[in-house]
Amino acid sequence: MALTKADMAEHLFEVLGLNKREAKDVVEMFFEEIRVALEEGEQVKLSGFGNFDLREKKQRPGRNPKTGEEIPITARRVVTFRPGQKLKSRVEAYVGPER
Amino acid sequence: MMKSELIEILAREQNHLAYKDVELAVRCILEQMSSALASGERIEIRGFGSFSLHFRPPRVGRNPKTGESVALSGKHVPHFKPGKELRDRVNQAYQDELARIGQNTDDEDNEDVQASRAAASVS
CA closest to A83 among chain B residues:
B78
Share above pLDDT 70 across residues of chain B, in percent, rounded to a whole number:
84
Q: Is A19 on the interface with B (CB under 8 A)?
A: no
pLDDT in tens, B85-109: 999 999 999 999 999 988 765 555 5
Q: Is A12 on the interface with B (CB under 8 A)?
A: yes
Q: Which residues of A touch B86 (CB under 8 A)?
A: 35, 38, 79
Contact at CB, B28 and A42, closer than 8 angstroms = no
What is the reported pLDDT for B15? Answer: 87
Contact B57, B74 (CB under 8 A): yes
Q: Which of A2, A31, A40 sits opposite B41 (nearest CB)?
A: A2
Q: Report H helices in B1-123.
A: 3-13, 19-38, 84-105, 111-122
What is the reported pLDDT for A99? Answer: 47
Residues 6+ apart with CB under 8 A from B55: A96, B74, B75, B76
What is the reported pLDDT for B121? Answer: 59
What is the reported pLDDT for A90? Answer: 96
Contact A9, B45 (CB under 8 A): no
CA dist., res. B67 & res. A17, Å (int): 55
pLDDT average per 10 residues of sequence, chain A (99 residues): 97 95 97 98 97 95 91 94 97 78
Mutate to test the interface with B, among A58, A73, A77 (most CBs of B within 10 A): A77
Contact at CB, B25 and A26, closer than 8 angstroms = yes
pLDDT band per the 50, 70, 90 thresholds, residue B119: low
What is the reported pLDDT for A58? Answer: 93
pLDDT in tens, B43-52: 999 999 999 9
Q: Is B27 exposed, middle or buried (0-12, 13-18, 19+ CB in 10 A)?
A: middle
pLDDT in tens, B18-30: 999 999 999 999 9
Dihedral class, residue B49 (left if φ above 0, else alpha if ψ from -120 to 50, else beta): left
Question: B69 pLDDT exceeds 80?
Answer: yes
What average pLDDT does this structure show over B8-24? 94
What is the reported pLDDT for A48? Answer: 95
CA distance B82 to chain A (A): 7
